Structure 1
Amino acid sequence: MASFQRKALIAFLILLALSLVLGAAGYRRSFLEAALVPTPDQQAPWRIQPGADASPGGRSETRMLDDGRRLRVQLHVAGTASTPYAEANLFFVDRAGKPVHADLSRYSSVSFVATCAPGNTLSLVAPTFEPTVSRRGDLLTYRAPTAFFACSEHGTRVDLDLTRLETPQWWFAMFGLDLAWREYRLDQVPKLAIGSSFQSPRDTDLLVDISGLALHGRDLRWIVVPGSVLLLAWAGFGFWFFRRHAAELTRDVQDRLQKDLPIVAYQQLSLQPHRDREKATILRVIATRYADAELDLESVVNETGVNRNKVNEILKAELGFTFSGYLNKLRLTEAARLLADKGSATVSEIAYSVGYNNVSYFNKLFKEEYGCTPKAFRGALGATDEVAPASTSVTKTSTIRMEQQLQP
């Protein structure tokens, strides 16, 4: 059993360490981040392009002040158009530099630091292609989910939820769609646009500086897949542990049962009653009355006429036990034999029959002696059909020989 426990502990620690390493690695990898600004090796490459109102009378302008490694633009929103705006567009491109629709469905948010002079409110738009109404390449027909954010002269940290952007009413009106149709997908996004809002000042040069622009999301496969593997590993470990533990417990119980047969202690004595009547008398009293709950050292002393110190000396010298230790040994071994008989007697009945009035105390002593509870002992022996009956037969035969040996 000790060898099995060491192996089980080592396997448990290895599996625990593996679980912690894989769990931590999977948890970290589940967090996705795609840096757009700034990065020399962009995960989602883009090409910047200015945009402004094109309606009659529109004179708004957007000037790019950097090379794209840092999004720095100057917006001038003219007040002459009915719906003026100016914006900086980050069009997604492939490796050849051609415009593409990026799949941003893995990302749930976008973050950046926005600095504006003068401070005002800007907008972020993530147009999405709607197969039922959009015409590929005609961005006016794309849904235009939008979010507004404050931008100060000292810099403002902005975090926007890409899954909860608001679609403007004009888009619903243009196609006669129900305003309640709020769901959209981010699997076909041609660009991200950062620009003015209806609250931006008119006819004023607005300096806008965007840094740390990044997309964030979660890929739960990095949690689900390792988690499933670890769950199977722990289930396998549990199955192995309980099977092996039951087998080891059964083997251990069988070994103890064979070793602790009641006759063993008597066979260790080269007892010749006619030459050593004190020993014979002491052993006979204990052997015939061990099931009596009232039996104690004082009773043996009174019945044999041998003083208490000598009783303990004889038992210690011949058997290696004190009186109480030897009495418990006999009672527990007989209890083990009765449990091995597979009879209908309950644990309580067996405890009473071998001299214990307190079942809890009996369970405690039995577990200390055999390493398991009486119920587990009976279950372990029940797992094999060969050993228990054989043990019982040996015990009964040995008991008869013991009684014959103690006859004067």
Structure 2
Amino acid sequence: MNILVVDDEPLEIEQMVYLIEKHFPTATVWKAQDASQAIRLARKTSIRLAFLDIQMPGKSGLDLAQELRTETKADLVMVTAFQSFEFAQQAIKVGVMDYLTKPIIEEELVRVLNHYTAHSHYSETIRHTLQIIHEEFDERLTLSSLASRIHINSAYLSRKFQEEVGTGFAEYVNHYRLLAAKRMLCEKPDATISSIAESCGFNSQHYFSQMFRKEFNTTPRDYRAKELYME
């Protein structure tokens, strides 16, 4: 599922991306800092859900929402520091499905996301499995050990996971670990690559670096240098 986050404040974007990837790591998040960039992304990518900041230089979020209505079939959610009847009326007129107020509250964002993703429709078995992965991704997690913990057959869990989540168990765990590592590289600039790999559940720095490059088309070291330089 493709999600678009539009805000002229880079820190606001990164906070949203962090929270989305934390709770919905299978989503692909696209970022734009103005309406023109957002429209270009929408024209080349099948956006399912877009979060639009209402106050931006040039076109406002509401103006952008009107334009996106003609370009995509995406559900639109406004992000604003204001709560007013007039704003709600304008948002309804352009087909906005929901809105969030700043500063973003994690629980509210998850509530909104649940309306537009399959996550809220996961079976109890898969919800339990995902909870364990999200809380213990830094530990040694295998399909068989996890299946044993929740008292089901490992082959059944493998099949259910693929059917409901849309990816294999091992692929999901690795992807979630890589997202965690991506955040940690910036949050802990003095930590070694090896220690970050270990903290995120990887057995070796070499394997971690290989997987990171495959996933993000850059090395952990180069990614950190680029992100810290941009700050």
State the TM-score, normalizing by the size of structure 1: 0.29
RCO greater where, 1 or 2, for CA within 8 Å and sep 6 or more?
A: 1
Structure richer in strand, relative to its length: 1
State the TM-score, normalizing by the size of structure 2: 0.49
